[in-house]
């Protein structure tokens, strides 16, 4: 049996509660990356932490099959490994990893432009993962949202879709979203406002077109 | 360890994938910043040429045209250079987003400070005649003069009775020699002048002349104005 060395990271949190905790977390992340650079087997620790969240994020951002999600996820982790020396310690490891995954997913979608999306097939699965904050923040009919959210999201420009998913489904802070999408300070709040407005308008248009009550 | 993690680690081993060296990233970052600085400098150059061309507008050339003041202004705006200022500025912004930390620095304060610095640079380049020289050199580019029309072009038409240049020698009070923008030497006859505006001619002075060609490289002046 192969024995792989792991870095045990306990109680890993994505949101910091205090500056001390934030500093400790940054040190841990730096150490984790350093250990991986010294020994590739330690990359398993990073994958262990991020596989599930990234898989969920890719499935929300791109309406593709499970096999394709795995394919994008694999490519993302390979890219993350290749770019470890480029990890900017001023960012959180999470934001940096999400950024690479986001870009890989968008690139994949661009190449698959002409393929039909699978949002209808994955509608129920997707709608079950929508947190309540999505409906309260955007203030749309929950009935519509639960059954047609993927169609509505899919109709939005990818920039709006990404930001709504990151903010209301992945629960990322404004600072994290700035780092993931490499947006200047202040633009994230503007984009979120526009995305919410676009989502509401798209919902209304959808209701009219499909005559949903 | 899960199957997925094993799969990735095996792929890394089998394909001998290694993390890209730090120097590669440092070089990439440095290259972007160098290129960005160059583009920013080009913004400054283009702005200085815009300022030069705006100050160079020859309102007298509109003569008795029916154009309103705002139409004359719109007619005179150097659209090519204004377009280049906008294009280079957008390029600078996009390049900054590509840098590691550039996107965090783009604030309204930074944009305003950079803009003011560029305006200052442009004014200095204009006042030191660098902008004028650069604009003059740009005229060597094919089709440039069909896009950008300057006061120099208007007054570089001796066959139409318009000539301008720098006085090289004052022969006597009836003639002088002048070098035009094409470095050609002209012998200017002053005996037929109806209006010289009491200009005191000095070597090195730039003037514009209304008159006619009377012989090869000889121009009879009817009216002389300060450049």
Partners of residue B19 in chain A, C-beta under 8 Å: 37, 81-85
Partners of residue A90 in chain B, C-beta under 8 Å: 101
pLDDT at A114: 56
pLDDT at B28: 94
Whether residue A86 and residue B20 make contact (CB cut-off 8 A), yes or no, is yes
Please give, rounded to a whole number of angstroms, the shortest distance from the CA of A146 to a CA of chain B.
31
B175-180 and B162-172 beta bridge pairing: antiparallel
With a CB cutoff of 8 Å and minimum separation 6, the contacts of B188 are B163, B175, B176, B177, B178, B209, B211, B218, B219, B220, B221
Report ipTM (2 d.p.).
0.76
Instruction: Output the pTM of the full model.
Output: 0.75
Q: Per-residue confidence of chain B (227 residues) as pLDDT tens digits?
A: 779 999 999 999 999 999 999 999 999 999 999 999 999 999 999 999 999 988 887 766 666 556 667 776 777 788 899 999 999 999 999 999 888 888 888 888 888 999 999 999 999 999 998 998 898 888 788 888 777 877 777 788 888 888 999 999 888 778 899 998 888 999 999 888 876 667 788 888 889 898 999 999 999 998 888 88
Q: DSSP string of chain B?
A: --HHHHHHHHHHHHTT--PPPHHHHHHHHHHHHHHHHHHHHHHHHHHHHHHHHHHT--GGGGTT----HHHHHHHH--HHHHHHHHHHHHHHHHHHHHSTTHHHH--HHHHHHHHHHHHHHHHHHHHTTHHHHHHHHHTTSTTGGGT---HHHHTEEGGGTEEEEEEEEEEETTEEEEEETTS-EEEEE-TT-SB-TT----TT-EEEEEEEEEETTEEEEEEEEE-
Residue A91 predicted with pLDDT over 50: yes
* Of the partner residues A44, A84, A184, the one whose CB lies closest to the CB of residue B1: A44
Residue A211's pLDDT band, with cuts at 50, 70 and 90, is low
> Could you tell me what percent of chain A has a pLDDT over 90?
45
Please give, rounded to a whole number of angstroms, the shortest distance from the CA of A53 to a CA of chain B.
14
Partners of residue B100 in chain A, C-beta under 8 Å: 86, 88
With a CB cutoff of 8 Å and minimum separation 6, the contacts of B96 are B36, B102, B103, B105, B106
């Amino acid at each position: 049996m192969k024995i792989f060395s792991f870095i045990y990271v306990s109680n890993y949190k994505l949101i910091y509660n205090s500056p001390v905790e934030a500093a400790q977390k940054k040190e841990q992340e730096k150490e984790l990356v350093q250990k991986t650079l010294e020994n590739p087997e330690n990359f398993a620790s990073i994958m262990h932490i991020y596989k599930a969240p990234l898989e969920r994020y890719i499935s929300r951002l791109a309406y593709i099959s499970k096999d394709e999600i795995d394919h994008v996820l694999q490519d993302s982790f390979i890219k993350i490994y290749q770019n470890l020396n480029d990890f900017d310690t001023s960012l959180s490891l999470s934001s940096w990893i999400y950024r690479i995954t986001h870009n890989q997913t968008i690139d994949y979608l661009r190449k698959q432009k002409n393929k039909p999306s699978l949002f209808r097939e994955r509608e129920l699965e997707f709608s079950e993962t929508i947190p309540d904050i999505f409906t309260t923040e955007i203030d749309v009919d929950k009935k519509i949202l639960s059954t047609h959210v993927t169609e509505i999201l899919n109709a939005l420009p990818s920039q709006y879709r990404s930001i709504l998913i990151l903010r209301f489904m992945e629960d990322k802070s404004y600072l994290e979203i700035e780092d993931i999408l490499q947006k200047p300070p202040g633009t994230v709040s503007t984009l979120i406002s526009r995305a919410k407005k676009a989502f509401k308008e798209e919902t209304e248009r959808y209701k009219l077109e499909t005559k949903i009550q | 360890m899960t199957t997925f993690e094993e799969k990735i680690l095996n792929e890394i081993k089998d394909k001998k994938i290694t993390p890209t060296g730090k120097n590669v990233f440092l070089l990439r970052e440095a290259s972007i910043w160098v290129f960005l600085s160059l583009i920013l400098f080009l913004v400054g150059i283009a702005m200085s040429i815009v300022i030069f061309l705006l100050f160079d507008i020859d309102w007298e050339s509109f003569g008795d045209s029916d154009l309103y003041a705002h139409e004359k202004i719109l007619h005179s705006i150097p659209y090519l250079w204004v377009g280049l200022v906008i294009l280079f500025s957008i390029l600078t912004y996009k390049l900054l987003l590509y840098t590691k930390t550039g996107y965090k620095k783009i604030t309204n304060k930074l944009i305003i400070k950079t803009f003011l610095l560029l305006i200052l640079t442009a004014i200095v380049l204009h006042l030191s005649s660098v902008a004028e020289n650069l604009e003059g050199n740009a005229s060597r580019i094919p089709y440039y003069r069909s896009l950008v029309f300057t006061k120099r072009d208007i007054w570089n038409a001796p066959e139409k009775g318009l000539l301008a240049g720098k006085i090289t020698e004052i022969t006597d009070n009836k003639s002088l020699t002048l070098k035009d923008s094409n470095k050609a030497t002209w012998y200017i006859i002053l005996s037929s002048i109806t209006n010289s505006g009491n200009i005191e001619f000095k070597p090195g002075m730039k003037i514009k002349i209304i008159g006619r060609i009377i012989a090869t490289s000889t121009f009879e002046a009817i009216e002389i104005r300060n450049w």
